[in-house]
Amino acid sequence: PLAERKYVPDDNHLHHETTTEHPGDKAKGHPGADERHRQQQQHGRLTKYVRSLKWTPIPLGVGFALLAYQHYRRVIRRANDPASRTGGGAQLAKNWEVTCYRMVPLRAFSRAWGWVHSINLPVWARAPLYSDAFNCNVGEAEIEDLQYYRNLGEFFRRGLKTGVRPICNQSAVVSPVDGTVLQCGKVECGNVEQVKGVSYSLPTFLGPHTWANSNNNDDVIINQAAANEQYCSGLMKNKGTALYHCVIYLAPGDYHRFHSPVEWKVQFRRHFAGELLSVNPVVARWIAGLFSLNERAVYVGEWEHGFFSYTAVGATNVGSIRVYDDKELSTNCWRLKKNTFIDKKFNKPLALQKGDNFGEFNLGSTIVLLFEAPLDFEFAAENGSKIHLGESLFKSKERLSPPPQSSPQSDENPSL
């Protein structure tokens, strides 16, 4: 059963400077309270007016101008600030910059790019385009003959040869994709880092905790006053555990299919119809709460240590997210309004083994893992490091708990 709900996101995740109004400010005639209130009203009126305008060719020009300005500002900052040259000192986007960026019709542009992906190319043009333009390791492809792939879409969704990605059975958690680890670690105070120094709210990212009552058609509004810690506690099922996260970015040249990182059961899916902003690490360092703004498919279930969620995040030119066992999922659909989500509760949970095929992107993107694990869980991957499908994410020679007994045949490492 599906239920579409109105989703009112927490706009505070857009702010790189938080402002708290104390209840007694106005009563005491505090000068800062009136000024903050006036600025918030002006910003709200300006945003409402700008969004009411008829934008046809203008958003593209605004978007390109904004990107050019942002690049210029970054160059100047790198020249004047030695710390920024080493990756520190992230300068977050202002509210008006994020608003302008969101006005660019990236969803329509991504749908057009998806159409381009489906155009069959001349046989003579396929090999040079595929091999040179995206720096792919075609030697790992299941079918090495590049002329076999009729269009860009088929090439990006190509399979891998058997054995090139062995799955580490000794690890509790393995990488679900080929990509770059943007950030991994423990969830602190209900906030998750998308890159170093830039975070987003877990309640905003996952939405209201209604997995057990997903058939309610009433509008759901996130309670912004609720403590993030309380939200996290509601997710966890066991004592002596904590929540951990891992964000992996898939570049256009990476293998585009994503797999199961653990043995688990998927019970619930929540599809957010959001933006399709770029998830490139440069943009992730610029826009706070980026993953909470973008379209995403959140899959929630349980593994041996409790709560487990697996989120495929859409991006510019990656409006198409396909999950093999969820035929009803339709992303970047013009019928879906922004700031809404659709819930689906699986009548029969999807049972996935470690390394199983889960889904695919059309052109790179990001995977976000959020899961419950014992307090001594430690990641093996380092932030910024390259990782491949099947490699261990857990820093230990032993599993967190004894593996279930299996037949002698199952001792062999599965591979893809």
259: annotated active-site residue: yes
- CA distances, 158 to each of 98, 153, 182 (Å): 35, 9, 24
pLDDT of residue 64: 53
The closest of 106, 96, 59, 105 to 276, measured between CA atoms, is 106
Contacts of 33 (CB under 8 A, 6+ apart): 21, 22, 25, 26
- Which among 248, 242, 245 has a CA at the least distance from the CA of 193? 245
Q: Please pick, among 13, 175, 178, 271, the residue that the annotation labels catalytic.
A: 178
* DSSP3 helix / strand / coil % (the chain, rounded to 5): 30, 25, 45
Q: What pLDDT is stored for residue 347 in this prediction?
A: 92
Interval 277-320: pLDDT, tens: 888 888 888 888 888 888 899 999 999 999 999 999 988 766 67
Res 110: pLDDT: 74
Q: How many CB atoms lie within 10 A of CB 34?
A: 12
Task: Give me the chain's average pLDDT, please.
Answer: 75
Determine which one of 201, 292, 309, 365 is catalytic.
365
Distance between CA atoms of residues 312 and 323, nearest Å: 9
Q: What pLDDT is attached to residue 18?
A: 35
Angle between helices 31-52 and 95-103 (to 10 degrees): 10
178 is catalytic: yes
Predicted confidence at residue 66, as pLDDT, reads 56
| From 259, 320, 343, 356, active-site residue | 259
What's the rounded Cα separation, in Å, for the pair 21 and 332? 37
> Going along 40-133, which residue ranges are E strands?
none
- Token pair listed for 286: 């610029």
Q: Which long-range contacts (CB under 8 A, 24 or more apart) does 140-146 make?
A: 140/164, 140/255
Q: Chain-centre distance of CA 133, in angstroms?
A: 25
Q: Identify the CA nearest to 387 among candidates 148, 106, 174, 128.
A: 174
What lies within 8 Å, CB to CB, of 143 at 6+ separation is: 149, 158, 159
pLDDT tens for each residue of 194-234: 777 788 888 889 998 877 554 444 444 444 435 677 888 88
CA–CA separation, 149 and 123 (whole Å):
9
pLDDT of residue 309: 96
Q: Kindly list the domain boundaries of the chain, sorted by start residue.
A: 11-16+35-110, 115-156, 179-396
* Phi-psi group of 167: left, alpha or beta (phi > 0 → left; psi -120 to 50 → alpha; rest → beta): beta
Per-residue pLDDT of the chain (416 residues; tens, 9 = 90+): 555 454 545 544 433 333 334 444 444 444 455 655 666 665 566 566 555 544 444 455 555 555 555 554 554 455 455 444 444 555 788 888 888 888 887 777 777 777 777 889 898 888 888 877 677 788 888 998 888 989 888 888 889 998 999 999 889 899 999 999 999 999 987 888 877 778 888 888 999 887 755 444 444 444 443 567 788 888 888 988 999 999 999 988 888 999 999 999 999 999 998 888 888 888 888 888 888 888 899 999 999 999 999 999 988 766 678 999 999 998 877 777 777 899 999 999 999 999 999 999 877 789 999 999 999 898 988 888 999 999 999 875 445 554 443 333 334 444 45
Three-class DSSP category at 15: coil
What's the Cα-to-Cα distance from 416 to each of 164, 258, 365, 386, rounded to whole Å?
Answer: 6, 12, 21, 19
The answer to whether residue 201 is catalytic is no
